[in-house]
Amino acid sequence: MHPLQQSYQRLHYFSTNASHELRTPLAKVLGHAQLGLMPSSDVEAMARLRLEKIVTVTKGMSRLVRDLLFLARYEGRLNFESLELMI
């Protein structure tokens, strides 16, 4: 197998697995943080700031996971010959 093709397959495998493995824990963290931010919540000011940070960081990670999923799906449409043309 050509080294470029091996690299392509490894990247595809990584991006697919990484995005799926990260989605569930990210959803849980975001859900718990958003619950803590609800107006009826009895959270102290510092804890609230931490929860807001968790939400911000988690949303950023979620965008990264979405982009990884897009990359994994797009890669499935490429063939080895089209990769050689891109180089």
Q: Which residue has the tokens 């807001």?
A: 52
Residues of the domain holding 73: 3-86
**Nearest to 55, CA basis, from 71, 67, 43:** 43
pLDDT digits (tens, 9 = 90+) for 49-87: 888 888 888 888 888 878 877 777 776 555 555 545 444
pTM of the model: 0.55
Percentage with pLDDT > 90 across the chain: 0
* Burial of 15 (C-beta count, 10 Å sphere; 0-12/13-18/19+): buried
What's the structural domain count of the chain? Answer: 1
Task: Classify the C-alpha dihedral 18-21-25-26 as positive or negative.
Answer: positive
